Amino acid sequence: MPVHTRKPTRHVPWRDSVSTSVFLALESLRAHPGRAVLAVLGIVVGIVTVSLVATVLANVRNQVALLFRELGTDNVFAFHLSGDPYSPPSDEEAPRMPLDRGFGDVIARQADSVEAAAAQILIPTVVNGRALSARAGSAVSDTVLVEGASANFFDIVGAEFAHGRPFTDLEDRAAARVAVLGASLARALFGGDAGDAALGREVYLLGEPYSVVGVLAQRRGGFFGENRQDSVLAIPAGTARRRFPDSDATVLYLRSAPGRLREAQTEIETVLRKLRRLGPEEPNDFNLSTSEQIIGTLDRVGAGIALATIALAAVSLMIGGIGIANVMIIAVTERTREIGLRMSVGARPRDVLRQFLIESVLLSLFGGACGLAVAALLAALLTLAVPGFLLVLPLWAVAFGLGSSCLTGILAGYLPARQAARMDPVEALRYEAA
């Protein structure tokens, strides 16, 4: 008998499977564009949501982190309430007395690790039922943020002056009517390129004139491009106490010696407890924080949002996967005869499986790429719409988008592809489209 020799396994090069599958996938995309759009819609939506939320989140986090770091990474902030100083206190914290401005100096003297203390007095945006506004000539600003500041405040929080100078101790003690303006406020009141033109001019607050001695440089951090500090109208703390006697909410900025931030926090706590006459069992009736701690809290919130985003992504990718699987099932059914033909010329089950898997992955990748393109576009639009808010799709978002759509393609395409691979060639060739 002649012994027939066959190569035991044939190797179909990946490049050929991919190029044929690309060809066929493009063909079916072109033949049924509506169906393809439906199929990839879920993936597109999923990828857009995830990459955009992730990008915005990362960006906001960095900006906000910058905002807090600008208040000084070596500083400990002391306030009688926890949380946002401009929000009303919780019922539990409402009875707490504000911190005394003089505590700052006591702490600086008694706490070895504290180098200097500055005070900031917060004036509510609404005083006596009227929203505070600042006026210079005919220009009015309603978004002004009035605060009292000690002479060294600007130095301690690292605020840079574009023009002019900070207050002097004398102006503080004498409750002089002088003011330092944030960059945006100066622009709003004295024009775009005010420069040092604002210096020496008068700003009216509740009908009283304050003479401008300094203009601050634009701040770097912010929330959606906004930094409240740019709208600030700072007056000496002593002046604030006299002009706004009802406003006594005081934030102490305590600068620690280099590398001694932890230590400073403990020492400040000890001194403050003594000053507040707290018994050993009583809890603190004040709150200490550092910019890193605030950022840490922020990051925990951010992590929660990120987790929710991932869950959202999983759900929408799953829906997207169902869309892909559906189209693949239709494609496999429609192309039953083609599958039979391929088998009749020597395609093995695994060749057929591979072909449909590749098609499914291509379809998903197409959806993922569309999603990324839409996300990039939206990011660009957001960047245009919100000045100072620069959004770029990070590389990891692109990698994640393509990776997860690839995975979705494999998972969604597997069952239809296996169905194709398991077809009986004779049955497949006899198949008549319904």
Place of tokens 């100096």: 105
- Choose between 294 and 341: whose C-beta lies nearer to other proteins: 341
- Choose between 258 and 346: whose C-beta lies nearer to other proteins: 346
Alpha helices in 78-159 (DSSP H): 103-110, 153-156
Within residues 346-375, the interface with other proteins by CB under 8 A covers 346-351
Q: Is 434 in the site for other proteins (CB under 8 A)?
A: no
Q: How far is CA 370 from CA 24, 44, 184, in A?
A: 20, 6, 39
Smallest distance, other proteins to C-beta of residue 304, A: 51
Span near other proteins by CB under 8 A; candidates 181-189, 229-237, 338-346, 394-402: 338-346
- Choose between 234 and 363: whose C-beta lies nearer to other proteins: 363
Q: Give the DSSP letter string of 20-72.
A: HHHHHHHHHHHH-HHHHHHHHHHHHHHHHHHHHHHHHHHHHHHHHHHHHHTT-
- Choose between 276 and 418: whose C-beta lies nearer to other proteins: 418
- Interface pick for other proteins out of 96, 135, 337, 418 (rule CB under 8 A): 337
For residue 16, give every residue at least 6 positions away whose Cβ sits within 8 Å of its Cβ, in sequence order, or none: none
Q: Give the DSSP letter string of 178-189.
A: EEEE-HHHHHHH
Q: Is 426 in the site for other proteins (CB under 8 A)?
A: yes
In the chain, count of helices (H) and strands (E)? 13, 14
- Choose between 35 and 260: whose C-beta lies nearer to other proteins: 35
- Interface pick for other proteins out of 206, 329, 330, 429 (rule CB under 8 A): 429
Q: Is 11 in the site for other proteins (CB under 8 A)?
A: yes
Span near other proteins by CB under 8 A; candidates 9-17, 70-78, 401-409, 410-418: 9-17
- Interface pick for other proteins out of 101, 187, 201, 342 (rule CB under 8 A): 342
Q: Is 27 in the site for other proteins (CB under 8 A)?
A: yes
Phi, psi angle pair for 151, to nearest 5°: -60, -35
Smallest distance, other proteins to C-beta of residue 337, A: 6
CB burial readout 337-350, b (16+ within 10 A) else e: ebbbebbeeebeee
The residue count for binding other proteins (CB under 8 A) is 33
Smallest distance, other proteins to C-beta of residue 336, A: 11
Q: Is 425 in the site for other proteins (CB under 8 A)?
A: yes
- Interface pick for other proteins out of 10, 130, 277, 300 (rule CB under 8 A): 10
Smallest distance, other proteins to C-beta of residue 8, A: 8
For residue 208, give every residue at least 6 positions away whose Cβ sits within 8 Å of its Cβ, in sequence order, or none: 177, 243
* 39: its two tokens: 């199929």
- Three-state DSSP at 393 gives coil
* 327: its two tokens: 């189209």
Q: Is 83 in the site for other proteins (CB under 8 A)?
A: no
Q: Is 32 in the site for other proteins (CB under 8 A)?
A: no
Which one-letter amino acid corresponds to residue 318?
A: M
* 189: its two tokens: 């009141």
* 34: its two tokens: 């509506």
* 271: its two tokens: 């001194």
Span near other proteins by CB under 8 A; candidates 7-15, 50-58, 59-67, 256-264: 7-15
Residues of this chain that bind other proteins (CB under 8 A):
1-4, 6-7, 9-13, 16, 20, 23, 27, 337-338, 340-351, 424-426, 429
